[in-house]
Structure 1
C-alpha cells in the first residue's frame, strides 16, 4: 500500500467514476416536503428529525446575526462542542463531548473529523479558517467513522457551502465593528449555458486590528487580515448527471500573541501550592505588565503571528441510477501552507534566568483524496450507502528556535521533518426496514492506514538549553488495519416522534509524535485510539411542529487515548503526545425550540457532559503528580447552554423588523490534562443582541449587533507560561463590542 502512488490511483478511479456517472440512468426521490431542516449526517439529504444521529445545525443566518464566521465562534453556540484556540492555526482543534486531539505533530489524526463539501480535511488547522459562502454547519456528536472516515472517533463537523443557482442572484455584505473590524463580501450566481452550466463565486476581504495591546512594538494584536474566494461550477450534461467543480482559496495573516500573562506564578497539582516566579514578576513589572484575569496587554519584541494559505480543487460527479439509486465520486486536491513566528519567552528582552527565545516554523501540506459512493433508493426492505475511500498526504515542515541569555550565551536549533500517510477504506451503512416504522441500523468501515516520517535536528549546543534539545535524527514507519461499526434500532413512534438506540465503535489510527524537540522516546509509534459508544435518542415535534424537542444520552469509553502532556527542557515548557490510557465521557443533551407564534421563536440547547480520566498511563520521566485518575478531561465543561430568542414582524407592506438575543453559558473548564488549578476558566456567560430592519422590495437589510453585552472577561484558553507563570488567550468577544452589517440582494 505504501508504494501505491496517489496521483495515478486518484486519476484512474476518477476516470472510472466519471465514466460510470455518464453511463447510468433514472432519478432520486425528493426529500419529504414538510421538513424545513435537512442534513447530510448520513451522506444523503434527509430530514434532521428523522436522522438517528445527535446533530446540531448552525445556519449561515444564525452565524451572521452573531458576527461569527469561523469554527471558534460558531462552536460557542453548540453545547456539546468546544474549540481550542492558540497562536497558530497548527495548534487549534475541535472537541466534541470532551474528546479532541491536541498536537502539532503531522503524524497524528484529529479525533473530530472536519468535512467541507464532502472533502475530509487531513488536519484540524485546515478547517479553522474563515468560512466563505457558508450554507450550514452540522456538528455530529459521537463516533462517525462508518461514513465520515479516517478521523471521527469523537464526532464530525460537516460544513456545507452555497450551491450555484440557475436563476441570477447577486449580493453584497459590508460590516463594520468597534476595534476597526470590517468584512466585505460579495457573491454572484447564475446560468452560464442554458440547461447545462451554472456557477457561483463568493469573495471576501476582512480584517480586525485586535483587542490586545503590545506595548513594546506599539501596536495591537489578536486580530486578523483575511482575503479569499470560493466558487462552484455545476455542469449538467443530461437530466441524470451533475458534475460540480469546486475551487477555493484563502489567505490569512493573524497577529496572535503567544500568551497573555494572568499570573507570574503557578499552582501545583495536587497540592494546590502557589509558587510565584520572582524573576518573572520583576521582569513583567519592569515592562509595565500587571498579570491578572483582566490583563489584555503584552510586551513582546517579536511580532508573533500565524500566516496561512489554504486552497483546493474538487470534482463531484453524481449520477442517478435505476430505482432511485445514486453514484457519487468526489476527487479532491488540497494544499495548506502555514508560517508561524512566536515569541516563545513571552517577554520584551532577556533577564537573569529568563532568556530570549524566538521561534519560526513553516508547514507545507498537500492531500489528495478520492471517494466513490453508492446510495441505494429508499422505500425497499434495505436502503444503504456504501463505497470506497482513499486519502494520501505529504507534509514537509521546518522549525527554528533561537536562544539568547542575558549572559551573552546563544544557541540555535533547526529541525526538518516530513510525514507521508495513506488511508484506504471500504464502508457501508444502511437500514433494514422491518416495517415502515421500525428498522435496524447496520454500518461498518474497514480501514488500512500507514504513516511514515523522517526527522533531523541540529543544534549549536551539545547539551540541552532552554527549549532546545541537542541534535537528533530518526525515521519510522507503521501501518495498521482497523475497523469501525454502528449497530442500532430506530422506531417511529408517530409521524412526529422518532426514537433510536445505537452502539458505535470508533477507531483512530497509529501515530507518531513528530515535533521540533523530538527525542528517542518519541520514536515509538502510538497505539491506535479506539472507543465504544452507546447512544439513545428521541426526536419529537408537537403542536403542528411549533415545538421541537430532541434528546440524546450517551456513554463513551476510549482506550489508548492520544493526548498531549506537558514536559520541560532545561526550564522551558514543551508538550509531548502520548497514549494517555483510558478515558470516558457520558452525558445528556437537549435541543429545544418553540415557535410561540408566527413572530417569536425561542430556543434552548443544553448539554451535561461528564468527561473524566479513568486510568491515566503516566509517561516515563513525568512527575509523580501525573496521577490524575478521576479528574476531568480538558475542554469539557460539565454544563453548557445556548439560549436564543428571535422576533420578526412586518412593518407596513414593504418593511420587516426583527431582533434577537442569545446567551451562551458554561460551567468551569479545565484546559490542561495535567490538572494544574491555574489553567481553569471559571463559569461565565456571554449575552449577545441584534436588531435588523429589512426592505423586502428593495431587498436590503441592515443589522445592528452588540456582542458580550455585559462586558464579561474570560479566557478562551489558559496554559502554563513557557518560562514560568500562567498565560491566557482571548477570543474576539473577550469584551463588549458592537457594529452593523449591511446586506443587499440583486
Structure 2
C-alpha cells in the first residue's frame, strides 16, 4: 500500500520547475521574435488547422488557432489514425489531462483536468469535467466511456467553462460531435480484431433522401470483447463484454437558412465487471488478480437530440436551439474485497433520465461587437440503489435514493473589437438549480432476496433492489444560485500570433449523497464548489504554419472542494463514502503544445504540462485521526499529477502502386497521483507507448492498419481504494495491458 508524497519512481522528479519555466519562456521569446515571418498558408499535413471548434458557440465557429482558450481538438482523421475507441483514449497526449475509466462499473468516467476531477461512482456527485455530446450535457459520469465511433471531432477545453457551458464544468469540458448526414452518397465499413480477443464491426451509410432538402445517415457498431484478463481464481478469461450501438440521423433544410438536424442513439452493453486487484495478494505492477464473485455490468441507453439553426438578418446572426433527451440504466455487481474469499460484494442499480434545451443567438454588429446570448434548461431524474453483503451472508446493508434536479440559466458574452487586433472579452451567466431527494440509509444488515414489493413490509430504512422500492429516512430539498462572470482580452500581434488573458469563475452544483450507509450521518446537502480562474496564453504559428507553439499559464482558487471521502463501514468491513466540502485549495500550472511539420510527409508533436496544488484551509478530517491539523493540510490533492509529457510522430510516404504508407508512434508520461483524499492509495506512474503502420490505397477507399497500444505492457488502474481493516488490501480495477490489433476500412 502506498503512502506519503507522490513522487517519481527515482525518488523525485529530475526536472526543476524554475529551470523548465525559464527554458520555456526563452523558447517562446525566440519563436515570437520570428512571428513577423509567419504567413497564412494551407493547413499542415495533420489537418488540425482545418478543425472548426465550437467552444465559443459563435454562429460559424472558429479555427483552433484563433480561439482564445486552452483547447485541443481531434478531427475524424486523427481519431481514426489513433485507433481511439472511447474518450479515455484521448487524454494521454494532452497536457494536464487525465481521462481514466472508473473501472469499478463499466463505462464510468473518472476525468480530471488541471487537478480537478472526481474519484467516485456515486451518480449524485456531479462531474467536474463536463461531457457534451452534440451540444447536450451528460448529467452523470456513468455511461460516458462506452465505445465511441462515427465521430466528426472531439474538443477538449481546459479550465472552467462555466460561462457558455455552465453545468458543473469547473475542471474543463469535452465536446463530442458525431458525423452529420452528407450531401453526397457515402458509405464506410470497418472491421478489426485485437488480442484478447476483441472483435469490432462498424459501418455507416449516408446521403440524400430527397435531393438537397432531406439527408439521412445510419451508423451501426458491434463489439465482441472476449476478455483480456485471466482470473487466477478459476483460470478463466475475464473482462469480456458485448456492445451494440445504432445511430440514425436525419437533416432537413426546407428553405435556405433554416436547418433541422435530428439524431438518435440506442446502445446496449453486457459483460463482466471489474478485474479488481488486491495489493495484499499481488504486485501492483502485475496483471494478476483473483476474484471469487461473478461480477457483471449491464447497461442500456437511448438518447436523442434535435438541433435547429435559423439564419437571421439581425446582426447577420443565427438562432440555434438544441434539445436533448437521454435515458440510461445500469446494473452491476462487484467483488469489493478483490480476493478469492467471499468477504464482501456489492450490487448497484442506476437509472437516469434527463431533458435539456438551449436556445441561443449569435451575431456580429458593424464589425464592432460579437454577441452570443441564450437560455438553458436542464431536468434530471436519478434513481440509485446499492446493497453490500459480507461473507455470503443472507443479509446485506442497503442504501439508495431518488434525486430530482431542475436548473435554468441565462448567459451572454460580448467581444468588443476595440481596434484592429485587440478584442475585449466580457460575459455573464446566472444559474439557478433546485434538487429534491428521498434517501434511504441503513447501517443494520437486513434480509435480501425476499422479492417483496409492498413497501410496508420492507425493513425500515432498507431498499429492495429487486422491487426497486425503498422506505426513506431522509427527505430534503434545496436551491442554489450563482453568477459567473468573465473579463479578458485577446490581442492578435501578427496574423498567426495570438495573445490572450482572462479571469472567469466556475461553479459545481451542490447536492446530496444517494449512497448513504449510515443513518447517523446526514447525506447532505453539501454546498457548491467555486473556482476562480486566472489564465494567460499564447498561440503562435511560424514558417508557413509548419511550426505551431501554444502555451498557457493558469492560477486557480478553489473554494469548498467537493470530495467523496472513503471511510470504513463498521458493519461488514467494506467501505462507505461521505460527500463533503472538504477544503479550500490553490492550483496553478503551465502547459505547452508543439507541432512541427518539417516536410509535407512528416508531422512531429510534443506537449508538456505542470500542475501544482496545495490546501489552504481544511474542513474535514481527511487523515481519519479524529482531528483536523497540519497533517491534513500537508496531504496531496487527489487526481493531481504534477507532470504530464507526450511526444509523437506521423510519417506518410507513397510506395508505388501500393498507395500511401503511414508510420506513427507516440509516447506519454504521467506522474503518479493519489486516488483518495487520505493519500493511502496511489495510481501508478504512466509510461504509455502506442504505434501503428497503415496502408491507404491510391483512390483513398481502402485502409489497412496494424497497431499496438500500451506496447510496454504497463499496469494502470481505474482507481485504488484501500480496504480498511485489511492491511495492504485494495480494490484496484485493472486496465488492459498490451494490445495488438488489425483494422480494415473501406469508404466510398
Q: Distance in 1 between matches of 2:125 and 2:608?
A: 31
CA 469–556 in structure 1, closer or farther in 2 if over 3 Å, else same: farther
| Structure 2 counterpart of 1:42 | 56
| Structure 1 counterpart of 2:265 | 248
Aligned partners of 1:573 and 1:723 also within 8 Å:
no
* CA positional deviation for 1:33: 8.8
Q: Deviations over 1:28-77 (max 9, x none)?
A: xxx99975232111113101111111001133333333432112122222
| Structure 2 counterpart of 1:545 | 545
CA 145–518 in structure 1, closer or farther in 2 if over 3 Å, else same: farther
* CA positional deviation for 1:625: 7.6
* CA positional deviation for 1:294: 3.1
| Structure 1 counterpart of 2:289 | 298
Deviates further, 526-535 or 679-688: 679-688
* CA positional deviation for 1:251: 1.2
What does 1:446-485 align with in structure 2 at a 5 Å threshold? Answer: 446-457=430-441, 461=445, 473-485=473-485
What does 1:224-623 align with in structure 2 at a 5 Å threshold? Answer: 224-257=241-274, 259-262=276-279, 264=280, 290-322=281-313, 323-350=315-342, 356-377=343-364, 380-404=367-391, 410-457=394-441, 461=445, 473-570=473-570, 571-619=573-621, 622-623=624-625
What does 1:56-135 align with in structure 2 at a 5 Å threshold? Answer: 56-84=72-100, 85-89=102-106, 92-135=109-152
Aligned partners of 2:397 and 2:446 also within 8 Å:
no
* CA positional deviation for 1:431: 0.3
Q: Deviations over 1:336-392 (max 9, x none)?
A: 111111122323334xxxxx3332211111001111010013662111111000000
CA 80–111 in structure 1, closer or farther in 2 if over 3 Å, else same: same
| Structure 2 counterpart of 1:171 | 188
Q: Distance in 2 between matches of 1:470 and 1:292?
A: 40
- The answer as to 2:692 corresponding to 1:708 is no
| Structure 1 counterpart of 2:644 | 640
Q: Distance in 2 between matches of 1:91 and 1:653?
A: 45
**What TM-score comes out, normalization by structure 2 length?**
0.86
Q: Deviations over 1:558-586 (max 9, x none)?
A: 00010111211223222211101112211
* CA positional deviation for 1:208: 2.0
Q: Distance in 2 between matches of 1:181 and 1:462?
A: 41
Q: Distance in 2 between matches of 1:346 and 1:670?
A: 20
| Structure 1 counterpart of 2:660 | 656
* CA positional deviation for 1:90: 7.5
Deviates further, 660-669 or 290-299: 290-299
* CA positional deviation for 1:259: 2.1
What does 1:124-203 align with in structure 2 at a 5 Å threshold? Answer: 124-203=141-220
CA 555–196 in structure 1, closer or farther in 2 if over 3 Å, else same: same
Gap runs ≥5 in structure 2: 1-39, 44-48, 448-458, 463-471
| Structure 2 counterpart of 1:271 | none
Give the aligned CA root-mean-square deviation in angstroms: 2.4
| Structure 1 counterpart of 2:699 | 697
* CA positional deviation for 1:401: 2.6
Deviates further, 422-431 or 223-232: 223-232
CA 660–33 in structure 1, closer or farther in 2 if over 3 Å, else same: closer
Q: Deviations over 1:506-563 (max 9, x none)?
A: 1122211121515342333111110100000000100001100000000011000101
* CA positional deviation for 1:460: 6.2
Secondary structure (helix, strand or coil) at the match of 2:254 reads strand
Aligned partners of 2:337 and 2:730 also within 8 Å:
no
Aligned partners of 1:241 and 1:319 also within 8 Å:
yes
Deviates further, 427-436 or 234-243: 427-436
* CA positional deviation for 1:486: 1.2
Q: Distance in 2 between matches of 1:223 and 1:516?
A: 31
| Structure 1 counterpart of 2:678 | 674
Gap runs ≥5 in structure 1: 1-30, 265-289, 351-355
| Structure 2 counterpart of 1:22 | none
**What TM-score comes out, normalization by structure 1 length?**
0.86
Q: Deviations over 1:221-261 (max 9, x none)?
A: 23432110222210000111000001011112242326202
How many residue pairs align between the two structures? 674
* CA positional deviation for 1:217: 4.5
Runs of 4+ in 1 over 6 A off after TM superposition: 31-34
Q: Deviations over 1:379-423 (max 9, x none)?
A: 621111110000001112222233337xxx652233342000001
CA 373–32 in structure 1, closer or farther in 2 if over 3 Å, else same: farther
* CA positional deviation for 1:305: 2.2
